[in-house]
Each structure stands twice: as structure tokens, then as C-alpha cells.
């Protein structure tokens, strides 16, 4: 009797209508030499997730070799190469090319797709524990995170770090802000509830960097909405937050050099924004006002002040 295999024929090509060239450049050609492959099939009965396999010379085999993917996406030393792809489960994934392979992450939820204790992340799970503790005990007294919990939370934070770096390369600034802000939440949570002092402050050395990434993402979002002055205010606030951190922890944690680099990056972004802005019309009017007063043209000076007042009001309404 001929053996039957529960398979569904499908193509092995990426749907480029859903993934334009900038996101899919370098996507590998179909697996293997075309003359020896009968078809690519989708095995519906291999585990919980669909698995692509190759039918070659009448036999179905599942390939675990990723060389065909890597050959179509060369590693570039010194560059961070990132792309979005459509996964076998129909959801978008983020891939980062590494020297010895690649890193693949989900675009939402926990980057590895896991749901610890039925929650989106370990941080969400422990925050749920805290809320339940407050309901049962009337407050957070007695709630803490042991050494193992803190170690697992730090490991999870690294996953989100990898993803928001990749998202920044893809210019998905909303996702960068989401994931970086999430890691700031992690730092705050461990700082308050870690049982051991070492665990409370283990992640604080990274706060300036995460603040910088959050600030860059928020500033880029404001620029995308054509609000350069808002972007500059966001950058000034980010620099202020980093300096406030240094004032609080500068002596206990050796992060001053690193924080200096983060501040320098934000200042460079501010200069880039300022250089791209048109000349400030208010500054021009201030010079005209000064010249009118010095020349005792008081009626002209009054008219210039009225124009400046109207411009101030317009900026306040625009929020720029």
C-alpha cells in the first residue's frame, strides 16, 4: 500500500506584495537546485506550528539547514543588517543577520514568542503578582523578587534590547519607544522590589542608554509629524533625565563615561534638527526691534512687538 502523507502543496516564494523590496532585499532563492526538487510542501501535522519541507525524488524531508537562507543574505562585518519577513505562521518576524547565523524575533509580545505563566512577559507576570499581593495584603509590603526572578527578568530584558535596536534600524520608532520604555519599567520594578541590593542596582548602569534610545525614538516620531521644536524639547528633557540619574548615582555606579556618550548622541541629534530648520522668524524680528529702538523709530518698534506677540500665540496653538 502506498504511504500517505498529510501535506498541502504551496509555493516556496515570499509574497513581495506584502513585503516591499526595502524590507526583503536579499531574500534567498528557492531551496536547492530546481532540477532535483519536485515541490515545496507545507506539512500540516508536524508539531503545533506549520513546517515547510521539501519533496525530492518522491520523498518528504524537513530541512533543518539554514545555509540556504544565509547564502542569500550575506553577513556584512561592522554593519547591523536587519529585515522583516513573513513567518510560516503568517505573522511578521524580525531577523538580524549575525556572523554565524541569524537572530529571529517576534514583532510584538515577548521577542521569543513565549508567554511565561500565561502572560505576555515575565515582567507582566510579576507585575500581576504585585497587583494580587496588594489586593490580598492592602499594600506592597512583603512583596519582593528573589535572585532567580531577577536573573530571569534581566535575561528577558536583553531580548527586548535586541529587538529595539533592530527596530531602530528599520526606523520603526513607535516600536523602539514601546520596547525601550518597557525596559525602563523593568529597571524601576527591580530597583523597588528586588530582595538583594545587588539585584536592585544591577541594571541601573544601563539606564542612560535606554533613556537615550527612548528619547531618540520620541524625537524621531515628532519629526515624522513635522514638529521639530517638539523634538528639540524631547531631546532636552532626555538629556536632563540622564543628568539627573548621574546626580543620583554617579558616585556609586561607574557610568559617567557611558552617559557622556549618550548625552553627546542626543546633542548631535539636536544639532541635526536645528540645522534642518528654517531661520527663526522671531529671531529676525528681535533684531529688527532692537534696530528700531536704537534708531528711535518707536512706532515701528510697537508694530514689530505686535507681530512678535501674534507669532508667539500661533506657536503655542501649534504646539511646535
What's the pLDDT tens digit per position in 191-201?
999 999 999 99
Query: How far is it, in rounded angstroms, from Cα 244 to Cα 8?
Result: 59
Cell of 94: 524580525
Residue-level pLDDT at 259: 66
Q: How many CB atoms lie within 10 A of CB 108?
A: 14
pTM, two decimal places: 0.69
So what's the pLDDT on residue 212? 96
Show the cell assigned to 111: 521577542
Which portions of the chain are predicted below pLDDT 50? 1-57, 60, 252-254, 315-320
The Cα 27–Cα 86 span in angstroms is 11
Residue 137 pLDDT: 96
Kindly provide the b/e burial profile for residues 20-53, where b requires at least 16 CB atoms within 10 angstroms of the residue's own CB: eeebbeebeeebeeeeeeeebbbbeeeeeebeeb
Ranges of beta strands (E only) in 22-175 are: 39-43, 51-56, 59-61, 82-86, 92-98, 101-106
Question: For position 20, what pLDDT does the model report?
Answer: 34
Q: If you count them, how many residues does the chain have?
A: 320
State residue 313's pLDDT score. Answer: 63
Question: Beta-carbon neighbour count of residue 157 at 10 Å?
Answer: 23
Amino acid at each position: 500500500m502506498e504511504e500517505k502523507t498529510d501535506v498541502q502543496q504551496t509555493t516556496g516564494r515570499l509574497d513581495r506584495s506584502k513585503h516591499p523590496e526595502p524590507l526583503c532585499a536579499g531574500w534567498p532563492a528557492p531551496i536547492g537546485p530546481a532540477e532535483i526538487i519536485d515541490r515545496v510542501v507545507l506539512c500540516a501535522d508536524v508539531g503545533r506550528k506549520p513546517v515547510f519541507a521539501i519533496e525530492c525524488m518522491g520523498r518528504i524531508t524537513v530541512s533543518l539547514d539554514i545555509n540556504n537562507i544565509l547564502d542569500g543574505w550575506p553577513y556584512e562585518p561592522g554593519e547591523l543588517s536587519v529585515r522583516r519577513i513573513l513567518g510560516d505562521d503568517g505573522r511578521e518576524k524580525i531577523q538580524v543577520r549575525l556572523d554565524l547565523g541569524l537572530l529571529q524575533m517576534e514583532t510584538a509580545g515577548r521577542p521569543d514568542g513565549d508567554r511565561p505563566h500565561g502572560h505576555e512577559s515575565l515582567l507582566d507576570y510579576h507585575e500581576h503578582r504585585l497587583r494580587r499581593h496588594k489586593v490580598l495584603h492592602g499594600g506592597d509590603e512583603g512583596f519582593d523578587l528573589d535572585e532567580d526572578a531577577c536573573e530571569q527578568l534581566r535575561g528577558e530584558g536583553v531580548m527586548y534590547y535586541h529587538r529595539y535596536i533592530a527596530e531602530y534600524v528599520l526606523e520603526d520608532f513607535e516600536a523602539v519607544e514601546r520596547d525601550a520604555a518597557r525596559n525602563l519599567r523593568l529597571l524601576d520594578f527591580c530597583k523597588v522590589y528586588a530582595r538583594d541590593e545587588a539585584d536592585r542596582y544591577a541594571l541601573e548602569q544601563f539606564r542612560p542608554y535606554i533613556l537615550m534610545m527612548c528619547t531618540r525614538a520620541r524625537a524621531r516620531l515628532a519629526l515624522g509629524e513635522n514638529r521639530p521644536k517638539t523634538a528639540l524639547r524631547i531631546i532636552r528633557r532626555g538629556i536632563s533625565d540622564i543628568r539627573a540619574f548621574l546626580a543620583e548615582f554617579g558616585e556609586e555606579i561607574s557610568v559617567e563615561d557611558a552617559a557622556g556618550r549618550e548625552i553627546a548622541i542626543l546633542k548631535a541629534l539636536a544639532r541635526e534638527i536645528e540645522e534642518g530648520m528654517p531661520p527663526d522668524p522671531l529671531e529676525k524680528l528681535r533684531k529688527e526691534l532692537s534696530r528700531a529702538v536704537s534708531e528711535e523709530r518707536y512706532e515701528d518698534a510697537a508694530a514689530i512687538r505686535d507681530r512678535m506677540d501674534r507669532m508667539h500665540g500661533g506657536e503655542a496653538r501649534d504646539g511646535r
